């Protein structure tokens, strides 16, 4: 079972990918994690990727897919995998499809965790983080015992730059321009499934599990 998770930043697709990986005993593959692992291990692909990343450039689609295919060729992916954070654009999806087709394989499901922009802005701008110990909170859903103070180490909680409303709006703009066209792409292939990401984490996962079963 080969699955792609889609959804805007903050929609919760990463959490759902982890839950899928646990339930179905398949690897949760994040391209960011693969890049870091290859760079740390000093592989040839990692060295190539690092040349771009050190210059602040995006890693080319062909190289990203090479690194991804190298990962999914490993033994633990024999029963399938769930991709989180890739593909992000139509060209990436096309390169991935072509590479998989050469191996006689294909993606089985593209699952879109659908959340309206206003919900995402409210959800992400409510996050608070402790820079000292890494603990995270949400002022509505997971508030600290004392407002603005970390439960674990007593340090002050902050709103990260990434979670500020203006930053979130910009990230959503990029998502709608670059990544949302994948919804149509996978709809045309007949493999897109959509779940309502505004519900609780457990309810969203129940919907995902119903699709996969």
* pLDDT tens string 168-177: 898 899 888 8
pLDDT surpassing 80 at residue 157: yes
Mind giving me the DSSP string for 86-136?
Answer: ---SHHHHHHHHHHHHHTT----EEEEEE--HHHHHHHHHTEEEETTT--E
pLDDT at 31: 81
pLDDT surpassing 90 at residue 56: no
Average pLDDT over residues 92-97: 91
Strand ranges of the sheet holding 109-114, from the earlier edge strand across to the other edge? 28-30, 81-84, 2-6, 109-114, 192-196
Mind giving me the DSSP string for 183-206?
Answer: HHHHHHHT-EEEEETTS-HHHHHH
Name the percent of the chain lying above pLDDT 70.
100
Which domains are delineated in the chain? 2-115+173-212 (3.40.50.300)
pLDDT at 84: 92
pLDDT surpassing 90 at residue 53: no
Nearest residue to 73 via CA among 85, 63, 65: 65
pLDDT at 174: 85
Strands (E), 17-73: 28-30
Q: Provide the whole-model pTM.
A: 0.82
Enumerate the active-site residues.
13, 88, 127, 160, 171
pLDDT at 37: 87
pLDDT at 45: 87
pLDDT surpassing 80 at residue 188: yes
């Amino acid at each position: 079972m080969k699955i792609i998770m889609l959804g805007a930043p903050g929609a919760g697709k990463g959490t759902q990918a982890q839950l899928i990986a646990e339930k179905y005993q398949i690897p949760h593959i994040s391209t960011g994690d693969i890049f870091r692992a290859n760079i740390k291990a000093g592989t040839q692909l990692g060295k190539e990727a690092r040349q771009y990343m050190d210059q602040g450039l995006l890693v080319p689609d062909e190289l990203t897919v090479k690194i991804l295919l190298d990962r999914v060729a490993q033994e633990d992916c024999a029963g399938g995998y769930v991709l989180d954070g890739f593909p992000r654009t139509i060209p990436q999806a096309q390169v991935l499809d072509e590479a998989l087709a050469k191996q006689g394989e294909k993606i089985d499901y593209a699952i879109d965790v659908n959340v309206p922009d206003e919900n995402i802005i409210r959800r992400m701008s409510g996050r608070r983080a402790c820079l000292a110990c890494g603990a995270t909170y949400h002022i509505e859903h997971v508030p600290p015992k004392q407002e603005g103070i970390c439960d674990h180490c007593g340090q002050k909680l902050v709103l990260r730059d990434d979670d500020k409303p203006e930053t979130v709006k910009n990230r959503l703009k990029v998502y709608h321009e670059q990544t949302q066209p994948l919804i149509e792409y996978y709809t045309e292939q007949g493999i897109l499934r959509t779940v309502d990401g505004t519900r609780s984490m457990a309810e969203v996962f129940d919907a995902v599990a119903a699709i996969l079963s």
